[in-house]
């Protein structure tokens, strides 16, 4: 009997195998990325800052070193000294865009546990009240999955985060852990709860870039006035009983800084209707957040408005997926200084993004 032979050539290597008896193996090296263009308009700021056009480009690669070991890397636009943003404002007589390495990590993943090290994506379940989506911690961590109850998943994640490496005892760092439980609550309900504790040790601001890394937290003698020992609770409620095309989601978060004697509490709530993943999808969101001055470490919180902390923020957004791997978003931020209460300001963002 004659056998069919398939020759595979890739990356300068070749292999010969029976074509009809083996399943193709996924490539060990994979690439992905996204490109986003944005128009932004602000009120109550100097005329030169009211409008700007912004772009973001990210290109990532993953390599499966072994079945359970993965190496990740990604380059992105943006200021390498700003951990909260990969955006670049179009300006300065057509100067070229700056790129930097914003991910470089190795991961070991087993069915019930895993570990990671380097500069990695945030391993915690979060909203942007405490962690901006562009912040990629650097250090090491691990995760543990446990529980045998049907329909219930539990994860314990821990991380050691190196913020600013210095000699002797002046290094700034953080140790944190989060327990997250996900469970079904009937035919159309899904509930996720998470509790976290983040213990920051901020010995120096020497590695910071002034106001850009402080962003509203109180200072005394060149250091933070408060310690930052954050107790953070998060709940997500999903309901699909209205319509599979228009699911309902509520996301609530409460954070308390045990290291501050006052101005130490923040909370947020967001309601989503719809989804944004497939062609023709539509999603709307309304959110409200109130954060006191030292409730969070503002250096790593959201940069959606000009206020890193001490703020009241209303958010209204609409997402539309016109075709696969694309997203159009319109977002309105209506915000003010929380105490003493200031005048409301408005920021409008119009985004167009493609992924590949």
CATH code at position 149: 2.40.160
What whole-number distance in Å separates Cα of residue 254 and Cα of residue 234?
7
Distances (CA, A) of 188 to 239, 282, 285: 5, 20, 20
pLDDT of residue 92: 77
Give me 134's structure tokens: 């562009």
Domain assignment of residue 86, yes or no: no
pLDDT of residue 349: 97
pLDDT of residue 17: 41
pLDDT of residue 316: 98
Domain assignment of residue 143, yes or no: yes
pLDDT in tens, 294-328: 999 999 999 999 999 999 999 999 999 999 999 99
pLDDT of residue 5: 38
pLDDT of residue 209: 67
pLDDT in tens, 323-339: 999 999 999 999 999 99
Domain assignment of residue 351, yes or no: yes
Low-confidence residues of the chain, pLDDT below 50?
Answer: 1-20
pLDDT in tens, 223-268: 999 999 999 999 999 999 998 899 999 999 999 999 999 999 999 9
pLDDT of residue 238: 97
Domain assignment of residue 25, yes or no: no
Domain assignment of residue 300, yes or no: yes
Distances (CA, A) of 179 to 26, 124, 145, 193: 33, 9, 10, 8
pTM: 0.88
Domain count, the chain: 1
SS3 112: coil
* Domain of 188, in residue numbers: 33-52+122-355
């Amino acid at each position: 009997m004659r056998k069919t032979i398939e020759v595979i050539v890739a990356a300068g290597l070749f292999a010969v195998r029976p074509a009809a008896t083996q399943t193709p193996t996924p490539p060990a090296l994979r690439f992905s990325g996204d490109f986003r263009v944005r128009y932004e308009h602000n009120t109550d700021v100097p005329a030169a800052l009211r409008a700007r056009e912004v772009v973001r480009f990210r290109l990532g690669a993953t390599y499966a070193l072994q079945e359970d070991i993965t190496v990740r890397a990604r380059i992105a636009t943006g200021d390498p000294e700003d951990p909260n943003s990969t955006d670049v404002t179009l300006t300065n007589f057509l100067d070229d865009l700056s790129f930097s390495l914003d991910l470089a990590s190795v991961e070991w993943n087993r069915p019930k546990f895993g570990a990671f090290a380097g500069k990695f994506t945030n391993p915690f379940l979060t909203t942007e009240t405490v962690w901006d989506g562009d912040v990629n911690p650097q250090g090491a961590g691990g995760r543990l999955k446990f529980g045998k109850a049907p329909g219930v998943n539990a994860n314990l994640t821990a991380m050691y985060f190196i913020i600013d490496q210095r000699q002797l005892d002046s290094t700034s760092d953080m140790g944190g852990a989060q327990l997250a439980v996900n469970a079904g609550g009937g035919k159309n309900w899904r509930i996720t709860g998470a509790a976290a504790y983040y213990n920051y040790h901020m010995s120096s601001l020497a590695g910071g870039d002034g106001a850009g890394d402080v962003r509203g937290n109180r200072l005394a003698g060149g250091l933070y006035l408060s310690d930052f020992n954050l107790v953070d609770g998060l709940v997500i409620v999903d309901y699909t009983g209205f319509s599979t095309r228009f699911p309902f989601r509520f996301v609530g978060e409460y954070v308390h800084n045990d290291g501050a004697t006052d101005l130490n509490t923040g909370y947020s709530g967001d309601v989503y209707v719809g989804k944004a993943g497939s062609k023709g999808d539509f999603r709307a969101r309304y959110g409200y957040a109130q954060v006191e001055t030292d409730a969070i470490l503002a250096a790593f919180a959201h940069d959606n408005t000009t206020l890193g902390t001490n703020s009241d923020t209303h958010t209204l957004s609409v997402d539309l997926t016109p075709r696969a791997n694309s997203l159009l978003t319109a977002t309105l931020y209506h915000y003010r200084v929380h105490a003493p209460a200031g005048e409301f300001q408005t920021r409008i963002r119009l985004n167009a993004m493609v992924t590949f």
